[in-house]
Structure 1
Amino acid sequence: MAASCYGMAAISCGSSVTVRGFGVGNQFFVPSSLKRNVNFRGDEQEQAPASSAVPPPPKPTPPPKPKVKTGFSDVLAFSGPGPERINGRLAMIGFVTAMGVELANGQDIFSQVQNGGIPWFLGTTVLLSLASLIPMFKGVTVESKSGDLMTSDAELWNGRFAMLGLVALAFTEYVKGSALV
């Protein structure tokens, strides 16, 4: 008798009620026209009526990318994109060239500069500086050109290590008084 009264309460209140031992799957079926969103068990969340379903909020649009400043003083500012990139690229070329000439001829870095290295240094500096600055003045960032293997962060770190390597090479050869190799 208690089970049938409990079942009647479910129909009159309009909710699906679990009654142990009765019905298929231990649940009474209540038509949706009779449901009033009453929760008898307490562990189920109330369901909103189908007619008042609220659509999900629209996805927010991503913020626009900040405009890249392309002025001369912006690109070559102390914290700008130009100085460290250019110095790092020049250091990478300089370190590899200095080591290559040292292995080929046995000259230390100071002998290389004294024996005609200044025009090569100036030419390389101008060429790499222009090749680095022209895209920066057009608003192209190195991050936009990064790939999976060749990333902008890897270039920065390689340039930093090359700068340290070039200074360490010059210092070591100065202290030693001859070529490193």
Structure 2
Amino acid sequence: MAASSCCGVLPVGSVVSRRGRVNSSFGTSNYVSPLKRDLIKFRVRSVAEDDEVKEPAAAAPKPTPPPPKPKVSTSFFDVLAFSGPAPERINGRLAMIGFVAAMGVEIANGQDIFSQVQNGGLPWFLGTSALLSLASLIPMFKGVTAESKSGDLMTSDAEIWNGRFAMLGLVALAFTEYVKGGALV
């Protein structure tokens, strides 16, 4: 759609008739004497706007290189910091193993969590905790992140959420067995 606009300028307070003359019927206070065309020249410009704006053809864009990977800190205090990658991931992994083991022994022997720990489960707990902690910390100290090893099915976010649910499940299982006074199953 091509449109053009033009603009006219009138003296302030005057009314123009259809013939282009100043109308003085509104009183003398609104009357402005007609201007001579030779004294003042006005320029009126008209601009047409097109729907399509043609841009000059640009050269083929160069592919952008991938952004550099952020360097992962391998400092002991950075890895084990409160907001670092290790604490929640290790606790989640331990909770997943602990919840499955506690439920498995409870179903097999009928023992609650507290009797499992009292009847020789403490060395197993400490050994499993040490082994899983070392297995989790060694790659972190080498700079390998869980996000870099994530796949389509098993993502690092899914591991974090499963660990959180396992922590809640383990605490809920212990609390329920304490209140009930015996095994859940």
1-structure distance, mates of 2:106, 2:120:
14
Q: Which amino acid aligns with 2:151?
A: G
Q: Which amino acid aligns with 1:75?
A: V
Q: Which residue of 1 aligns with 2:166?
A: 162
Against the structure 1 CA distance between its residues 118 and 46, is the aligned structure 2 distance closer, same or farther, given a 3 Å change threshold?
A: closer
1-structure distance, mates of 2:184, 2:55:
79
Q: Select the structure of larger CA radius of gyration.
A: 2
Which of 108, 112, 134 is 1:108 aligned to? 112
RMSD, aligned α-carbons: 1.9
> Per the alignment, in what secondary structure is the counterpart of residue 170 of structure 1?
helix
Q: Which residue of 1 aligns with 2:184?
A: 180
Q: Which amino acid aligns with 1:141?
A: T
The number of residue pairs the alignment matches comes to 138
Q: How does 1:22-171 map to 2 (within 5 A)?
A: 42-46=50-54, 48=56, 54-171=58-175
2-structure distance, mates of 1:165, 1:43:
63
2-structure distance, mates of 1:179, 1:171:
11
TM superposition shift of 1:57: 4.9
1-structure distance, mates of 2:72, 2:55:
50
Q: Which amino acid aligns with 1:169?
A: L
TM superposition shift of 1:58: 3.5
Superposed CA offset, 1:45-69 (max 9, x none): 3575xxxx54255344332111000
2-structure distance, mates of 1:151, 1:44:
47
Query: Taking every aligned residue pair, what percent have the same amino acid on both sides?
Result: 81
Q: Which residue of 1 aligns with 2:21?
A: none
> Which sections of structure 1, spanning at least 5 residues, go unmatched?
1-39
**With CA pairs under 8 Å and 6+ residues apart, which has the higher RCO, 1 or 2?**
2
2-structure distance, mates of 1:165, 1:61:
45
2-structure distance, mates of 1:92, 1:47:
59
TM superposition shift of 1:93: 0.4
2-structure distance, mates of 1:179, 1:47:
76
More helix by share: 1
> Which sections of structure 2, spanning at least 5 residues, go unmatched?
1-47
- Tell which deviates more after alignment, 53-62 or 100-109: 53-62
2-structure distance, mates of 1:116, 1:94:
15
Q: Which residue of 2 aligns with 1:29?
A: none
TM-score by length of structure 2 reads 0.69
